[in-house]
Structure 1
């Protein structure tokens, strides 16, 4: 197994934001939204049976340029999504994307650190995140915050890159999935794979939150996913 090699926690230059937004995430984003849909539908049914007519309140950590919240809102409503990121430049691009999608009243952006959220305890029906955890030097802080802000009976859905077990496999993934990207985009993808966690490392994070290890599964040749109804 190759050792974890940290990358910068915040991608906060204009070039990084524009290059990230321009990369073709469409298939990954589509799969994320479709995989999340059963949890959202179950949450809606649970609220309806309890006579709760409020929209599902969802927290998206590390939203980047907000492409995944937009994808989700195209599939289900009503929602209120608080989409956070520590990178101001990412949020600037995200705001443009949200405005173009006509979702400015549904997706609200907040400049916030996932390790120390400005949110009340038990204030969200669900917490989601895509490709944030590999940026965090000590991810347990993020998991602890997630546990704090989810309502009883809520859910979490986290997906991130899986660290390859060899440099040869890392190179294969970069070649396979970033062949058409520019050099900066390929470098970002390579660095992200090197900074990603292994399945066992994610299981340890779940253990510390008293969540079942079985909640995490390998879901592609380069991703792990935590899906958990509390």
Structure 2
């Protein structure tokens, strides 16, 4: 197993934001949305809220340029998303994306640190995150905040990159999924894979936060996912 090699926690240059936004995230984002909406449907069925007209307030950690909130809100009109990121440049691009999608009144952008959220306890119906955890040196702090801000009976859906077993596998994944990207984009993907967690590391973090380790599963050749609903009080 290759060792974890940290990358900068915040991608906050204009070049990084523009290059990230222009990468082909389409298939990954669509699958994220589909899997999440399945979890939300199960959450609604269990909570008995499927027949109601209440909106669901969801926190997105590490939203980047807000591509996933856009994908989600285009599929489910009941979602109200608070999309946070620590990178001001990412949020500037996100603002443009939301304006172009006509969703500026549905998605609220906030600059916030996922390790120390400016939120009250138990204030969101669910928390989601895509590809944030590998940026954080001590990601247990993010999971603790997620547990703190989700309402009892709420859901969490976190997906991130999976660190490859070897340098050869890492290079294979870069060639396969970023082979047609520019050199800076390929380097970003390479560095992100190197900074990612293993499934064992994720499960250890969940256990420390009081969450079932089994909720973390490998869901592709380069991703792990945590998808679960918290107990209702």
What band does the TM-score fall into relative to the shorter chain? over 0.9
Give, in angstroms, the shift of residue 49 of structure 1.
Answer: 4.4
In structure 1, stretches of 5+ residues that fail to align are none
Q: Which residue of 2 aligns with 1:218?
A: 218
Q: Which residue of 2 aligns with 1:112?
A: 112
In structure 2, stretches of 5+ residues that fail to align are none
**Quick check: 2:163–2:198 contact (8 Å CA) kept in 1?**
yes
SS at match of 1:64: coil
SS at match of 1:204: helix
> Structure 1 residues 42-51 or 181-190, which shifts more?
42-51
Q: Which residue of 2 aligns with 1:171?
A: 171
Q: Deviations over 1:3-59 (max 9, x none)?
A: 000000000000000000000000000000000011222334456549864310100
**Quick check: 2:29–2:67 contact (8 Å CA) kept in 1?**
yes
**Counterparts of 1:121-140 in structure 2 under 5 Å?**
121-140=121-140
Matches of 2:102 and 2:22, distance apart in 1: 20
Q: Deviations over 1:167-217 (max 9, x none)?
A: 000000001011100000000000000000000000011001111111011
Give, in angstroms, the shift of residue 229 of structure 1.
Answer: 1.0
SS at match of 2:147: helix
Q: Deviations over 1:142-188 (max 9, x none)?
A: 00000000000000000000000100000000010111000000000
Please, what TM-score do these two structures have when normalized by structure 1? 0.97
Q: Deviations over 1:53-88 (max 9, x none)?
A: 431010000000000010011111211100000000
Aligned residues: 230
SS at match of 2:194: helix
SS at match of 1:74: helix
Does the alignment pair 1:155 with 2:155? yes
Please, what TM-score do these two structures have when normalized by structure 2? 0.96
